[in-house]
Structure 1
Amino acid sequence: MSTTPEQAASEVDPTQENVEDSNLAIIARQPIVDQHRAVYGYELFDRSTASASHTAASDAALLFNALSYAGTEALVGKKTVFINCTHDSLAGGHLELIHPEKVVLEVPTLPDGATQEEIDGRVPVLEALRARGFRLAFNQNALRRAYGNWMPLAAYIKLDMQAFKPELAAPLVKFAGNYAKATLVAEKVETPEQFKMMSDLGVKLFQGFWFAKPSLVKATTIRPSQATIIQLINLVRKQASTAEIEDLLKKDPTLSFNLLRFINSSGFGLSCEITSFRHAVMILGLKKLFRWAALLMTTSRADGSPPAVGQTAVVRGRLMELLATELLPPEECDNAFVVGVFSLLDTMLNVPIEKALESVALPQPVTDALLHNTGVFAPFLELTKACESGDEVVFARTAEALHLSNRQVNWAHLQALTWAENLNAD
């Protein structure tokens, strides 16, 4: 007999759960229901740490944990998933790992004071997401005149019941219906009167405490060692054969377990179950396998080294990748990422860097930067370390040598920190 998501998942009272347990992936979900109160979908929230911050990195962590750890079948069944996004995360590689038809991206409006140019500047990214098959949800602030270019892209408009008086409900619903060809969702519904009022006005979907408070779904995580993940990243970077990658997966059950759980989740969108490592690698492809391994690394602990080391390594990799995009071809940007991540390999593996690199096949420019501080990537690594340490002299010298402005470097550094923060939280 099949189980419902409610039966399959382990749900607990959010007020009683210890969200600081590093072995748990904890995701809160709140149902979105139709006018008959049947569940249409779930909005997901990351509760794996006590931090309430919402960043590009936490967006990536939420999707990754939902797909890899919590078991999407137990979490949402076949229902639609609604995920809150920052604008930074909309361009993130983690979105390449999921089936667009499974996910609605909730996109916020820009902060008050944003210019028309800034608002319209977001349209190409939103259009690209729509073209890939993602559905977009906007809040009622997007009904303002300034967001007129966003409206053709809206699949859903969420109306916050706490943000307007009851007498404004009818004109707001009418305006939204005329202004956007989108399904309306009344959210923060807390009374039966609010539900009846919005239902009578033709609203089709509802969310709020009157139906259900967010419940927590938890799963024990099984994380591979960072050393093993680094091996996988290395194999992918050198475009190893499927057989070589399959061999590594066979040697590490935690790595293979995570991969099969991820690729068989409903979020990935396959119609049949994948049981062989070889098939999983072939289905995923090297590009997505790299993204998956990089995210897995940020959520795993280094054996014997502080958890922050892995996070710092990923920040370095991401920063070097972003800096390289300004000056180098795309394939070299991938190598820049590897230089950054592997620059702390000695600390992560607790051996000298020369020893750490002995068993790793890397392109010569990558090795030159790591071992000899020479070659095309050396100044990028030096600049990245200067960002990390706050060494203004080295920062100024290397940025000038690379013809990068302070603004370009600082922006890239903020993006890299945002991408990686909270993913290694205790």
Structure 2
Amino acid sequence: MKGRLMGYELLFRDANADVALINDAVASTNAVVERALGGIGLDAISSGKDCYLNCTTEFLQSPVIDLLPPDRFVLEILETCKPGPALYALCKALRAKGFRLALDDVRELPPLLRQMLPVIDIVKLDWLEIAPADRLPMARELTAQGIVVLAEKIEDAREFELARDAGCQLFQGYYFSRPEVFPVRAVQPHFAAVLDVMHLLMNGAPYRQLADALLRTPALLAQLLRLASSGAVGQAWKGNLGSIDAALMLVGTERLLQWCGLLMYSDRLPTGDDPLAQLALERAGWMRERIEETHPDDESLARRAVLAGSLSLLHVAHGASASTFWQGVRLADDVHAALVDRSGPIGQALADAESNERQCDSTSFSAA
């Protein structure tokens, strides 16, 4: 067998089991988007390949769609979606935005489903549930219309050969790979902090106020940086991020508002105070002062030091190494170097801040 990996299907799995326990399909898809874009990072999950995402009609109509980079996502229209003029118009609009669309779990081609085909790019045949005599005619009919045919649930070499000989171009199933679970430790921005940012956004606050609010909630700031690095803001941008203001300008206030709305909908935001966020805020201010002393004419360096300080404790909260946590995020080189190995002027300021904190802790303990 010769072939190459074309993409990954992103699926929701229960935190305590390697199975899908789905009570709310829209909430489950929202959770996948939240974790893929903000929690793990799109490139860390897919290595630049296509991402297939299960979608209900309600999700396709939701503003969360606008958070997805169209060139990276294939939207799978679930079999529960009702074919007809409304769904056809919705699919046409999504294709105009650059998305590719797939019909999921297709077992037959009734008239209403055939009418959808002009706005469909990929049809996923539920291979094992289709009578062997019907497979070849279905595959030929679809390929004749320029549609890519994917055979799913391929579990052994014989089924792969039959699907390939029938004209299927893509294949999915346990024969090729078992599902891989990406556990995500839930370190979310606090409810009040997200609400504060939403209030500022809805009232047209300037970037400076928004940057100050994000500085007080590093978890949300990290999600903004991952969102900026995911390609959701367009593939034309290839640079690295050196300040909170740059990330805000790149992502835009409308997309950030949509992201905050997604977080609020997830109903997983903690409500208490975040001591790590407070410490990071103090550290960022201390680092700015240190850089201003050592490099008084470099305001850009001071801003990057603030960014590094505010992000410097997040990997601790996630129980990960700094190098792993920041992999795939387009941070400015000196910010990344400071966070990962404490090198460069910003890294030295960060190391000095940490040393100062340890001394303060020691003094407090001795005084007690």
- Where on the TM-score scale, by shorter chain, does this alignment land: which range? 0.5 to 0.7
Structure 2 counterpart of 1:153: 119
CA contact (8 A) 1:109 1:142 kept: no
- Structure 1 distance, partners of 2:179, 2:70, is 24
Structure 2 counterpart of 1:42: 8
**SS state of the match for residue 81, structure 1?**
strand
Larger relative contact order, structure 1 or 2 (CA cutoff 8 Å, min sep 6): 1
CA contact (8 A) 2:263 2:269 kept: no
Normalising by the residue count of structure 1, what TM-score does the alignment of the two structures yield? 0.58
Structure 1 counterpart of 2:76: 106
Structure 1 position 49, deviation (Å)? 4.3
Compare 267-276 and 51-60 and name the one that shifted more.
267-276
**SS state of the match for residue 290, structure 1?**
helix
**SS state of the match for residue 221, structure 2?**
helix
Choose from 211, 219, 224 the match for 2:176. 211
Q: Are 2:267 and 1:302 equivalent residues in the alignment?
A: no
CA contact (8 A) 1:110 1:119 kept: no
Structure 1 position 165, deviation (Å)? 2.7
Structure 1 counterpart of 2:86: 121
Structure 1 counterpart of 2:51: 81
Normalising by the residue count of structure 2, what TM-score does the alignment of the two structures yield? 0.67
**SS state of the match for residue 223, structure 1?**
coil
Per-residue CA distance 1:21-47 (angstroms, 9 max, x = gap): xxxxxxxxxxxxxx7332100001012
Structure 2 unaligned regions, length at least 5: 274-368
Structure 1 segment 2-401 matched on structure 2, within 5 A:
36-49=2-15, 51-110=21-80, 119-139=84-104, 140-141=106-107, 143-178=109-144, 180-266=145-231, 269-270=234-235, 271-299=238-266, 300-304=268-272
Number of aligned residue pairs: give it: 265
Per-residue CA distance 1:93-135 (angstroms, 9 max, x = gap): 1111121111000002457xx6xxx622211111110111110
- Structure 1 distance, partners of 2:72, 2:80, is 25
CA RMSD across the alignment: 2.2
- Structure 2 distance, partners of 1:91, 1:102, is 19
Amino acid in structure 1 at the alignment position of 2:30: A
Structure 1 unaligned regions, length at least 5: 1-34, 306-426
- Structure 2 distance, partners of 1:60, 1:66, is 10
- Structure 1 distance, partners of 2:224, 2:203, is 20
Amino acid in structure 2 at the alignment position of 1:175: E
